[in-house]
Every structure is written in structure tokens, then in C-alpha cells.
Amino acid sequence: MYLCGVKPVKRLIKPLLLLHFLILLSGCNASRFIPEDGYLLTGVGIASEGTHVGTDELQAYMPQRPNNKWFSIFKVPLGIYCLSGRDSTKRFNRFLRHLGEAPVIYDRERTLQACDNMQLSIRNMGYLNAEVSLREKAKRNKMKVSYRIIPHERYHIRDFTLNVQDDALRHTLDSLKYRPAINSEVDRRNRPYSINGLESERGRLYGLLVENGYYKFNKEYVHFRVDTTIGHHLADVEMIVRQAQGNADSTDFSHHRYHIGDISYEFPSGRQFLRPKVLRNATAISKRQLYRETEMHETYARMTRLSAVMGANVRVDERTDGSDTLDVSVSLTPGKINSFSAELEGTNSAGDFGAALALSYQNRNLFRGSELFSVKLRGAFEAIKGLVGYADQNFIEYSIETGITFPDFKFPFLRSAFRRNAQATTEINFAFDSQDRPEFHRRVLTGVLRYRWTRMNRQLQHRFDLLDINYVFMPWISDTFRETYLSDPQNRNAILKYNYENLFIMNWSYHFVYNSRPLGASASNYGTNAYTIRIGLETAGNLLYAISNMTGAKRHEDGEFKYFGIGYAQYAKFDFSFCKSFLINKNNSLALHAALGIACPYGNSDILPYEKRYFSGGANSVRGWSVRELGPGSFQGTDGRIDFINQTGDIKLDLNIEYRTHLFWKFDGAAFIDAGNIWTIRDYKDQPGGQFRFDEFWRQIAASYGLGLRLNFNYFILRFDAGMKAVHPAFKDSRRHFPIVHPNFKRDFTFHFAVGMPF
């Protein structure tokens, strides 16, 4: 019994030592850095009597928080700081202090001020008699504090009246059917009094007026008169909209309603570098319409998004003839039109060394319409060793990509509909790629007509590929490769053979992204409930299939319809992804992710094209496996090796949970659990165990766990993730099926390097 337990105990030694080190480091004594009459702040809490007053929004009033904890457990940053000596002139001590976090010394004066601020905030919610008290608990040189909230009874509005002192403005509000939201309550006895609610109503009225011509109106014209002396925790509120403030010699105190006059464009460079039609399309306002503040901001945003524009300014000038007309001037500064770039890279594919060179050119104003034109040339060479039976031992690739992006929606009858409500672009792209390998020569020609559009706040993003054409041509396949993999009855693979034939793909697709956090909104306001939804729909071959049937075309020997001897793919594909984040505090958050993809070949196809199939594993999937190493189902590659052709599927499921924490400086950490797999819809003989079955798919869900390190430079993130397999569906015996119980570091560990977050 003792001998059987030796290896498991040895496996636990390293993680236990690491855990012991973290505990010791987090428990380093900080006493020498605490003043004689001071305290180390070790805990802060808020407690409220009753659930009707939430404490989340009061967290912002806390002036101090305890030292940061890794994963909310280990005070490692404080421990690193405490390792430094008292002599701050020594470089090593300064380095440790910079790397760590100084002890948080309790500041009683700031904490008492926080009590007053919390009390004022709660009273603004309508609890006019609210009390906030402070409780301090000192032990040796450590201090824990808690705020105790007693809200008492909330005040309600008995009567709410609107007093508009400007007769013309009152008539305008009536025509706009403005009614204070407070008065819209069905039960007037259930109208809670709140300063925040009154401020919200003030902002609502201001927003309505500046969107309907009142250029000079501001929130200071709206104030409230509140009477809380009527008893029974009731208040009478009068909302007063004052007259305009005229000049000293003026007798006109009415609020004026302005219209847009002349719209002009200025070019500080002295040259009009954009066509007038482009300027008009990018201008959200029009002559003789009422002034609208959001359209002024939208005009500025559209101008700055033009690729040919470096800077923009939108100025409004009031006419002096008393006509209540505003002239708008848009000033545009041109950006750099032409740019060139070159990229040189080295490659190493399983010991085969090579190099690649890419040259790029961009023109940001090709036809003076802020069109973005780009051309990219790429060439690559790789010396391949160890191939037997092939005449050529080198890999040569060259490609050209070109495209043009228009800053509007180039589609008949729909441009006017998108002009005001969305930010749209039209993309036309072409690419040609030539690959000469020892085994085969491959040519790929693609063309795409794509539309993108977003709403003003960028929460909704749409992409519609109206036409996406891919033509794959195999001009030559070596006899050795054909006889070994495509023609040999013993080694012949249907998926492999399908992807080494001439193939035509004509599809359309639609992709939708919704982000609950509006553009420019802070994470503190939306981080606790921020989520993202992605949906993708794609289908191919339906039009060609309909033409084949309508024209009475005959199927070829392999059962496919073909054009000019070339088969075409027919399939449907659906993708869904959901990601939600929970902000625990400024240093810790929790992220959840779920993704599902289903693709089904039908009609003219029995198998999906290789590039349309799903794969599992990798830095953005189940991180206990490398890319294309997992699945489908319980399938395992020959001799346990990765089978890039067969380890693909028609269905994909990903489930991820990740705890994220800030460590120190630019370093963030993460602990994650991943689950998922891929499956095939049909039972392919080359992928035994890969077919999706409702009664057993849940047994084939793989799982992994691990830790991650991120270098966060704000504008980009370098990510290092170390994953360990927990459940391996390819094995039936319990020892290998549950590596979480019987871990083998060499077998179960996978390291990933990536740029950006996994989801």
C-alpha cells in the first residue's frame, strides 16, 4: 500500500510547495512599515438594515480598500513589498517596492468623511432621515472597519407639478407630448422621492429640447422646489423651467428654436481633397432642419472615421440677423494618403526552415471619396526534408490580395435608409494564392462583396457577405501522394480526398454582434452585467443547386452536379457565442463563455469543405489540448498522434469559466476551467466514435483546467496559458479517462501563447 502511493505523493510535492510559498509570502509581516500609532487596513464592509438599499453603488465612496489579493486569497503584492528593506536608497529595495504594493495604512479622517458622503447619497435616494455609522475593530496593529446603514422610511411624492414660465416653450412641449416620467406612474402613491430621479427628469427634458431645435437650452434652466413639511413622509415637488437669460439690454426672455442654415466645408490645407458627394453623405445634418445635438456629434464621428481624414472640427455659428438660424462649418485636415510596409518572417514547421516576405501598399483616398485601397504581395519558401518518393523537396507559395473599402452602403435603394441610422461600409476583395508542394500544387481564387454597418452607439454590429466565391483548383498531384492517400483502398480517406479535388464554393453569410456596454461607457457602470452575443449564419450552393434542377442537369458518377466538370459545395452553418463578465472589484473579475456551432452538408455535398469544418483545442478553446488535437467525440488519432484531417467535425461546443486577477505592474493572472468537444453529423468510417448522439455526447465532453499569465499593455495583451487535461473522452479506462485523478505532466500538460483574450 505504501509503495503504490509514492508516485501520487511525489506529484503533489511541487504544487504543495508553491502553495506554501504563496501563503508564506502573503503572510509576511508588514509591521515595520506601519507607523507606531497606525493600523494596517485588513477589511472593509458595508451592512444595510433591510434589502431596499443596495450597497453596490456605495462601494465607490470607500476611500480605502485592503491590499490587493491574488485570486482574492493571497496578499502576494504586499508580501513582495515587505521583502524590501527600510533603506529606500538601495536599488533592489526600490525594485521590490515598485513590483509590490505598499501597506494600506488606515486613514480615519477620510473614512469619517466617507460616512458623510454615503449618508448624503442615501438621502438623495429619498431616505431623508438615513443614518450611516462607522464601526472600527482594532487588533494589535490591524484594523477592520464596517459601515452600518440605517435608511429609515423613504419619502414619496404626493403631488408633482410642472411650471413652464415660457409660454412658447410650453406649447412646444405640449406638441411634443412631453409628460414627466414621474407623473406617468399608474399608482401615484407609489412614486418614490429621489434627488437622482429628479436629476434624471431634468436630463430627460434637456435631451428632448436640444434634439428639437433648442440650441441654447441647458440644464440650469430647470430647477425643483420641494416641500417635505407636509408629514407622513410625503413631499410636494414643483419642476420649474425658467425663462431664458437675455442680455442686459434685452427684453426677450423666451427660449428660441433654431434651424440649420448653410453648411460649409473648410480645408486648412487649401485643397478640397474629398468630393462634395462624400462630404454630404458623411454629414448627418441637413439644411432647414431643426438643430439636433446628437446629429452634430454624429457628423463629427462620421468625418473622423473617413480614412482620408486625420482631424475634424464641427463649428456652429448663430446668425446676427435675428433669424434663429445656425450656420455649420466643418473643418477637415487630410491624413497621409499613401503608405508602404514590408514584413519579413522566419518559419519552422517541424524542423523544416523557411522564410516569407510580404509587401503592402495602401491608398486612403483612391477616387477622392475616402476609399481605402490596399494591395498585399506575399512570397514564402520552405525547404522540406525527409519526404520519400517525391521529386521536389521544397514548398513555394506566392499570393496577392487586393481590396477596396467604400465609406458608405453601396446597394441600390437602401443607401438612404442607412445614411441616417447607421455607419456603413462596403468592401470588395479579391485574392489569389498559389502553393507548390512536393505532394501537390494548389491554386485558390477568392472574391468577396461585403457590407458592414453599426448603429450610432456601436452596440450593434452587422456584417453581411452578399457574395463570397472560392474556387480551389488542383493542377497537379504527384503519383506518390495520389497512390498513397487518394487511390489506395486501404488508406483512402473520404474527407482527405474531397479536399484534394477541384471545388467551387459560392456562399453568403450574415454575422451579428451585440455588446451590452455602449461605446465609451465605463466598466464600473456596466462591468457587473456586461455581455456580448455573437450570431453567424452561412449557406452555400443553394442557387447553383436550384439552377441545376431547373435546367435538368444530370448528376455525375460520384452523385454530384458539376459546372464545367467542377463540383460545388452545399451546406448550412450556424454559430452562436455568449460571453458575460462579472466585475467583483477593480482587481478581480469572472468571465463566462459558451459557444455552439453546427454545420450540415446537404444536397450536392456529403462532406463539409475542410476550411468550413470545426476543430477543438488550442488557446481559445479547451486549453488542455493543442490545436486540432481534440475530438471528434471519442475519436483519437492514429497511435495517439494528431490527425489534422480527421480531427475536424460538423458540431462544436465550448464552455469556459475564467477568474481574472491583477497581479502587479503590467501582469495579470487567470485561473480557468474549459470544457467542450467537436462531433460529426454523419457516421464517417474514418472517424469512428465521432458522430453526435444525444444519449452519449455528454460523456464525450472533454474538460481541462489551468493557470494563465497576461502582459497587459492596454493596446494589446500577450497571453500565456498552461492547461492540464481533466477528462479525456478518447479513452475508456478510468486512469486515462480521468487524468485529473491520475495526472501525468508529460502527457496532460499543454502550453499556449497568444495575443488577446481568449473570449
CA 713 distance to own-chain centroid: 17
Find the DSSP H helices in 398-522: 415-421, 479-481, 494-498
Whole-angstrom Cα distance, residue 495 to residue 499?
6
- 708, with CB counted inside 10 A (0-12, 13-18, 19+), is buried
Instruction: Please tell us whether the domain made up of 156-241 is placed in CATH 3.30.360.
Output: no
Residues 76 and 663: beta-carbon distance below 8 Å: yes
Q: Which three cell numbers stand for residue 200?
A: 434624471
Separation in Å, CA 641 to CA 704, 730, 737, 752? 19, 12, 17, 18
Residues 364 and 337: beta-carbon distance below 8 Å: yes
Helix, strand or coil, per DSSP, at residue 735: helix
Length of the chain, in residues: 759
Nearest to 370 by CA among 263, 270, 277: 277
DSSP single-letter state for residue 485: I
| Residues paired with residue 593 on neighbouring β-strands, in sequence order | 579, 656
**pLDDT tens across 119-142, in order?**
999 999 999 999 999 999 988 889
pLDDT of amino acid 546: 92
Residues 301 and 284: beta-carbon distance below 8 Å: no
Nearest to 671 by CA among 683, 680, 663: 663
pLDDT of amino acid 90: 81
Nearest to 592 by CA among 517, 669, 657: 657
Find the DSSP H helices in 44-161: 76-82, 91-99, 108-124
Element (H, E) at 41: strand 40-48
10 Å Cβ neighbour count for 487?
12
DSSP 314-332: EEEEE-TTSS-EEEEEEEE
Find the DSSP H helices in 216-281: 276-281
> Domain segments of the chain: what residues?
26-150, 156-241, 259-334, 336-492
pLDDT of amino acid 12: 46
| Full-model pTM | 0.82
pLDDT of amino acid 525: 44
* Superfamily of segment(s) 26-150: membrane protein fhac (3.10.20.310)
Quickly tell me which residue has 448550412 as its cell: 572
Residues 730 and 745: beta-carbon distance below 8 Å: no
Q: Which three cell numbers stand for residue 455?
A: 448603429
Q: What totals of helices (H) and strands (E) does the chain contain, helices first?
A: 15, 27
Close Cβ partners of 647 (under 8 Å, ≥ 6 residues apart): 615, 616, 628, 629, 630, 631, 632, 635, 637, 678
Quickly tell me which residue has 462607522 as its cell: 134
Q: 26-150 and 156-241: same fold?
A: yes
**pLDDT tens across 393-405, in order?**
788 999 999 999 9
Quickly tell me which residue has 452596440 as its cell: 459
CATH of 259-334, one of 3.10.20.310, 3.90.79.10, 3.40.50.10320, 3.30.365.10: 3.10.20.310
pLDDT of amino acid 529: 67
Listed as ranges, residues in the chain with pLDDT below 70 are: 1-29, 51, 184-190, 246-251, 347-352, 386-389, 391-392, 412-422, 456-458, 488-492, 518-529, 638-643
pLDDT of amino acid 556: 87
Whole-angstrom Cα distance, residue 669 to residue 662?
6
pLDDT of amino acid 30: 74
The alpha-carbon radius of gyration of the chain (Å, integer) is 34
Q: For residue 673, which phi and psi values (nearest 5 degrees)?
A: -130, 125
